[in-house]
Amino acid sequence: MPDNPKLNERLALNFAGLRMRSPIGVAPIGMPAGKKAAVTPESHAEILFKHVEAGAGFVYVPGTEYISKEMLEEYRAQSRPRELVKKPSDSRWLKVGRPGHGAEAVYHIVFPATEPPERRLTSYEKWGKVIDILKKKLPRDVPIIGSLMPLAAFPETAVASAKKAIELGVDMIEVNISKGSSPGIAGAVEYYLERDYPLITVGSLVGDHPDLAVKVAAAVVKAVNVPVGVKISPETGFPRLVGLVRDLKAVGVKYIQAFNHSPTVAPPDIYNGGRPRWSFVDGNPFVGTSGEVLRTTLYKDIAAIAKFCPGIDIAAAGGLMAPEHAVEAMMLGARLPQFCTGVLLQGRSLLRNTAEFLVRFMDEQGYRSVDDFIGQGVQYIKPMDHLEMNTDRVIAEVNPARCKGSGVCTDSICVAMVRENGRARIKAEDCSGCGLCVVACPNQAISLRLLA
């Protein structure tokens, strides 16, 4: 594994008690794309190694879940019956967005939305082989994070999986109670409202009940001696997530991963009678969405945790698509900015570019280590009613050379902007300096000026 000592030395940090050569990496991805039979432990490990070669400071193995025959019988007897009507055995992708008209979203039906629990009797074996290969080649400062999901809301099923993952060699556990495609399964609404689940993974349907989430996490923390993190859902929302994170911290959770993909519905095909836009799929279920659209929610969640739950580490995924996004997330308090959809749509050059960008950025800005700027923006997260807005001291100014008379600024809700001789003019006495016209102008012809 080729090392780049210069990068590693500058970017190294501690996360949840472990040393990592770099804060960046790829968020968990259940399975590589392609037919399952074609995914061997060797080819899977190779994909993860390539992430590390490109700059990742950690790798995820999502799938080390385990259950014994006895437990399977015991918990099946205690859980709600469920027939597997149709078992999805694949994933399907869709990308929708109009450049310049808001963020672009990626929608995915993710396999396995409803994997039968029997798979856990043996599925860990394949992951064990992946971990064996990783262990032989990975540098010490690139830990393996085992990501796992409970069955239904039974903490014991998460505990058994965590113990197995540690036996297989992972360095850290992440409890995933946030899978965004779970709301898309048959019966989801009743399961959630009745808090009564079948013996499958139900992701955010459990994680969105803070008491259940904390119970699962507390059991895992108690049962293992490696750092434990919890991956939350964007659905948890603010300020509910503050309560959840505080409770998770109180039971010994060392970090929060914010967050998983978000449940949504892909837009229907409006020129085809509202049918799904997926080719070869006969319905439009609730699915997970990821990428660009998640970033605004992510920043809110990171900032909320950093501001209101100090003392717990944060890993962040959700719409980070550029090197600058990694830094923004870090300044808001994230210690591990993670790419997922960014790497899927741009390739690993996103990792390589980000590692190099970080070092350049740190040199230019005079930061010696990443700890110098992690959380730097949190001090500015203030209540709105404590802000000095400089009301009446700022007004908009039109640059006549740039104004092309588009009329956008005079054609919505502003009382200060008028159209004269085909161009925009500001009535200074009526301008509050709000900046709407600056944001709306398609020609960057308007700016704000602070009055003397």
Ligand X SMILES: Cc1cc2nc3c(=O)[nH]c(=O)nc-3n(C[C@H](O)[C@H](O)[C@H](O)COP(=O)(O)O)c2cc1C
The residue ranges that bind ligand X (CB under 6 A) are 27-30, 62, 108, 110, 147, 176, 231, 260-261, 290-291, 294, 317-320, 339-342
Q: At 147, is the secondary structure helix, strand, or coil?
A: strand
Least CB distance to ligand X at residue 441 (A): 30
Rounded-to-integer distance, Cα 55 and Cα 52, Å: 5
Rounded-to-integer distance, Cα 361 and Cα 323, Å: 10
Cβ proximity to ligand X: between 103 and 389 the closer is: 103
How big, in percent rounded to 5, are the helix, strand and coil portions of the chain?
A: 40, 20, 45
Cβ proximity to ligand X: between 25 and 333 the closer is: 25
Cβ proximity to ligand X: between 236 and 341 the closer is: 341
Buried b (16+ CB within 10 A) or exposed e, 210-220: bebbbbbbbbb
Least CB distance to ligand X at residue 117 (A): 17
- Residue identified by tokens 């490696």 is 226
Helix (H) or strand (E) holding 18: strand 18-20
- Assess contact for 319 and 338: CB atoms under 8 A: no
Least CB distance to ligand X at residue 266 (A): 14
Cβ proximity to ligand X: between 147 and 182 the closer is: 147
Least CB distance to ligand X at residue 238 (A): 17
Angle between helices 240-250 and 295-308 (to 10 degrees): 50
Least CB distance to ligand X at residue 61 (A): 10
Helix spans in 309-410 (H): 323-331, 341-346, 349-365
Least CB distance to ligand X at residue 203 (A): 9
Cβ proximity to ligand X: between 110 and 309 the closer is: 110
Rounded-to-integer distance, Cα 26 and Cα 90, Å: 21
Cβ proximity to ligand X: between 145 and 312 the closer is: 145
